[in-house]
Chains A and B, each alone.
Chain A
């Protein structure tokens, strides 16, 4: 099998999986970290599509600065305990029980 095609197939699979994991995350912090990972994988996708300019912008801005802004916003969300407004604690508990 063509190694380039194999790499692309793995890349697309990982991209879709990370995107879903970031969206479906019950924990807001985890979601943000997955979003940053998504940006880095996506920039590899742009390299594979022959668009290194877009890949650079995606890695620097999409993953780097946007991730930093999201984390800064997350750190400023109200809530003294571990719980933060975006977290779905009931959902986390339900996930925990199912395991």
Chain B
């Protein structure tokens, strides 16, 4: 193809060739490093050694909620700030004005009752098996998204608290726990032995609710009408 017939905005042949060469070189470099390089031992040994004291038998949960709890605390802060940013853009636009299709409603009646069950399992399993607050919250958020696109409201009568309370609950509980363990000469987030498991479950439960509300709130794409 000559450059004259090329549509505007599309890169030329030379630029494409240079980019392709650069990408190939980068890919070859990564492959070479993987094949020839020494793989560092990592921290799996240290994690396994400290696992009995962590309050969780799943090493991923132990790292996320105990050894590197500070990172997860800040991640919750980032998620909360993201919703604050979206809400500041303005009120949520109306998503659906037409009647939802029967297929969607039928699928909802099967999937939505299952979501809290899967959510609770993932949350509980997180201490010993793959699972945890983020996955559990995402499953609950998916049920929320299904409600939103069907234009229906949950038939259960939840206590009428503002959504913003639920959104900050995860960060709030995490911060409260992080600070509450400090008396007695402990560092921030240094859970007392014996209590670590219960505290992690408390933090994860609050985080699950908040993550579900945050992800569903991001999907709404603005401040809900009944929120101040």
Show the binding face of A for B, using Cβ within 8 Å: 52-53, 55-57, 60-61, 64-65, 68-69, 72-73, 75-76, 90-91
Contact = CB atoms under 8 A, between A and B. Distances in A.
Where chain A touches its partner, the secondary structure class is helix
B219 A53 contact: no
B138 interface: yes
Given A53-B130, A56-B135, A76-B93, 9 more contacts: A53-B135, A57-B134, A60-B134, A60-B139, A61-B134, A61-B138, A68-B142, A72-B95, A76-B221
A56 B145 contact: no
B196 interface: no
B30 to A, nearest CB: 14
Interface string B131-161: 1101100110110010000000000000000
Interface in B198-221: 215, 218-219, 221
Interface string B1-40: 0000001000000000000000000000000000000000
Contacts of B215: 61, 65
Interface of B: 7, 58, 60, 93, 95, 122, 130-132, 134-135, 138-139, 141-142, 145, 215, 218-219, 221
A56 B221 contact: no
The 5 lowest CB-CB distance pairs between A and B, nearest first, are A60-B138, A52-B130, A53-B60, A56-B135, A53-B130
A90 B6 CA distance: 11
Contacts, number: 47
A76 B94 CA distance: 10
A73 B58 CA distance: 36
Contacts of B141: 65
B135 A60 contact: yes
17 contacts: A52-B130, A53-B58, A53-B130, A53-B132, A55-B130, A57-B135, A60-B142, A61-B135, A61-B215, A64-B138, A65-B215, A65-B219, A68-B145, A68-B219, A69-B218, A69-B219, A72-B95
B68 to A, nearest CB: 14
A56 B60 CA distance: 12
B204 to A, nearest CB: 14
Contacts of B218: 65, 69
